[in-house]
A = this chain, B = another copy of it.
């Protein structure tokens, strides 16, 4: 086991977790500029594991539930928080918010408010990599609910056909708003789903960051070698509601309790043992993360509000 990788995965997951907790806190205080905000608490291992397997030149497309991908890919907390607060200094100048957070400088091609809306974009980034031979792989995250959108099918087929360097990572948190996975499709295995496209499918435990890392590494390697896409289904769980407005009445408290017990942070500590990840490591990360978040919130608070006139800028390039 790679100690450094393990530590870094844990730290990333913690950073995501604490950031989202802080976002919820700030949201409660009314600090967020948009009502659209979806946290991925409970799903951190998928983002952390996958992004750790990426190289600097790689691209990533993200979803409405994209804080984890953004952070795991190395997005900065200051400008992220500023974006959520609707500030001029935010990544999108305060006009994108949580659902459209983006940083092209790290190959992040955008969170998307349309479920499935970025699937074609991922294929396109892959297509350009193939044409231009830029050696980049595009990782396309989406929820299991998005598998039923038509463009998902079109995109995966296109990538499979042309062997584009794209890796599809399904964050299967078992719900699309209120729709349980089994009420959403008659085929729940991604190994089987992948067969329709003639590509490898993987069903991986999405609460195990190392397992996700392994699966993602293999898929990214294949993609980079020109062997085409992989469809990875990562079994995870959304610990909270779909959004703040959602009391999650469509699932049982027993299920929630059972699934919350499978916390990716705990799972990793248990799995690797205190030998690899000691209490003091974790304490140090907690302290570091807290400091980063305090600084990010301060940066956001101190930043100027996006100016009204700017809403008429950048409509055209």
Q: Which residues of A contact B (CB under 8 A)?
A: 148-154, 157-158, 160-161, 183-188, 192-199, 228
Contacts and interface: CB of A to CB of B under 8 A. Distances in A.
Tell me whether chain A's interface is mostly helix, strand or loop, or mixed: helix
**Copies of this chain, tallied across the complex:** 2
A145 to B, nearest CB: 12
Contact of A160 (B154, B187, B197, B228): B187
Nearest to A183: B161
Contact of A154 (B149, B183, B197): B149
6 contacts: A150-B151, A153-B153, A161-B184, A161-B185, A193-B196, A194-B196
A150 B149 CA distance: 7
Contact of A148 (B157, B186, B198): B157
Contacts of A160: 185-187
Residue from A153, A184, A199 having most chain B Cβ neighbours under 10 A: A153
Given A148-B157, A153-B154, A194-B196, 11 more contacts: A149-B150, A152-B153, A160-B185, A161-B186, A186-B197, A186-B199, A188-B198, A193-B195, A193-B196, A195-B196, A196-B196
B161 A150 contact: no
A317 B197 CA distance: 42
Contacts of A194: 196
